[in-house]
Structure 1
Amino acid sequence: MNIDTARARLRPVSASDIDDLVHLDSDPEVMRYVSGGVPTPRAVIEEWVLPRAEAERRRYGTGTWALCDPATGAFLGWASLRTPRHSSRTELELSYRLRRTVWGRGLGTEAALALIAFAFDHLGTERVFASTLASNIPSRRVMEKIGMSLTGIHLCDDSDLFGTPDAPGHAVDPRTAPYDPDRYEVEYEILQTEWRRRSLRWSSTRHRSA
């Protein structure tokens, strides 16, 4: 299913996107908060990334969408909705990755909003969440702009955890524990009920403005 936004088109990724996906993941700045700048091998994209996206689409109607320029068809990045493998909740994980040349234009926010609307309005999802390193401020701003709230902070190796009510783990006192934003991961979420409230407020504001 294609999803159109004001300035982009989201279409399911396919084998024709492999070169663009490899090129995207070869940029150290793009991969800075993903792998420390290490590129993703082509074999991983061909044998794992793409098949997993296609399996998600066939089974759940989710997966990965290529973010494209609607006028030229140029590949700008991707955004995805993934079904967690070990979760009993009706929830989806949101991810996105854009070429450095289009950073700062709000396209990530636009794509993320489109997928959240798709998740809640068409898939009946109850919760959408996203995570990144605590030091990844640009990505965190996108999460906040689309209405997500911070729900958890934990060490990337999961040895310590605090701030997540569903998984209390071994509590860490942020006042005394050493904190390195490159070692901690943050998780944000938005619930369907909150999305509905926000949609009503936005609709009401547009109606009054008109």
Structure 2
Amino acid sequence: MDAWPLRHLVLRTPRLELRPDDDAGLLELVEVAKAGVHDPDEMPFNVPWTDGLAEDHGRGMLQHFWGVRARLMPADWAICFLVRHEGEVIGTQELNAQNFGVLREVTSGSWLGRRFHGKGFGTEMRVAVLQFAFDHLGAQVARSAAWQGNRASNRVSEKLGYAHDGTTAAAPRGQRLEHVRLRLDAADFVRPGWDVEVEGLAECVHLITT
């Protein structure tokens, strides 16, 4: 038995490759984040982690991803996929679940380096993990969330078939914002004209579906 079988998992789309995070890739991801993720006047994340990049040079990012990896167990897991385009890390796409074997629900979240915005990569990487969850893991529901004013993220969700599922309030920078919850049932998923290619699932499926 491999001690860390997730290292064999690969998702491929027409333009992108997604693999669970590794230390070398995370160092690339830190540099992507330091180059800019969003408009500095806005905060798209519930936890304002980008505000601390200049102070700790990305150490907090690394510690976050290491912690997520260390806590993985079948009843409560998160996979942080590093997203690559032509071999270059451009962002990350997370997929997580609790009690997946019973609930058959997943939640996703993602970000891209700012210079990769506007190229359709955000949609493509979200489709990759949705197809992986629905078609290969047997998920029935996928959930996500975004700030009410995050037009790019909400446009992606809308065109993929998500429905609004209420709101919550948060204050990442001390100002109240509305967080829109989103739900996608497998039957409502608006699929593109391609299917994600999945490799290495047999080696790690026991870690995330039991």
Structure 1 and Structure 2 fold alike (TM over 0.5)? yes
Amino acid at match of 1:77: G
Contact 1:30 1:37 in 2 (8 A): no
* Alignment-mate amino acid for residue 38 of structure 1: D
Choose 1 or 2 for highest CA Rg: 1
Select the structure that is richer in strand: 2
Counterpart pick for 1:4 among 12, 27, 30: 12
Instruction: Tell me if structure 1 keeps the 8 A contact 2:30–2:61.
Output: yes
Identify the match of residue 186 of structure 2 among 172, 192, 209. 192
> Could you tell me which of 57, 64, 73 is aligned with 1:48?
64
- In structure 2, runs of 5+ residues without a counterpart are 1-8, 195-210
Residue 33 in 1 paired to residue 44 in 2?
Answer: yes
Which structure exhibits the higher relative contact order, with contacts defined as CA atoms closer than 8 Å and separated by 6 or more residues?
Answer: 2
Encode CA deviations 1:108-143: one digit per residue, 9 max, x unaligned: 101101110100111111211111111111111111
Give the Cα separation in 2 of the matches to 1:108 and 1:134: 18
CA RMSD, Structure 1 to Structure 2 (Å): 3.0
C-alpha distance 98-38 of structure 1, shift in aligned 2 (>3 A): same
SS, match of residue 15 in structure 2:
coil
User: How high is the sequence identity, in percent, across the aligned residues?
Assistant: 20
Displacement, 1:16? 0.7
Q: Secondary structure at the match of 2:103?
A: coil
TM-score by length of 1: 0.70
Separation in 1, partners of 2:158, 2:176: 19
Aligned to 2:84: 68
Q: For 2:145, what is the secondary structure of its paired residue?
A: strand
1:192 Cα deviation from its structure 2 partner: 1.9
What whole-Å deviation, never above 9, does each CA across 1:64-103 have from its counterpart, x for those lacking one?
1111013xx1111111101148xx7321111111011110
Unaligned runs of 5+ in 1: 158-180, 204-210
Say how many residue pairs are matched.
173
- 8 Å Cα contact 1:150-1:187 kept in structure 2: yes
Cα gap change, 1:37 to 1:135, in 2 (>3 Å): farther
Aligned to 1:91: 105
Aligned to 1:108: 122
Runs of 4+ aligned residues of structure 1 deviating over 4 Å after TM superposition are none
TM-score normalised according to structure 2 size: 0.70
**1: CA distance, partners of 2:121 / 2:65:** 22
Q: Which residue, out of 141, 150, 166, partners 1:152?
A: 166
> Take 1:49 and 1:191, find their aligned partners in 2: how far apart are those partners?
28
Distance 1:49 1:36 in 2: 12
1:18 aligns with 2:12: no
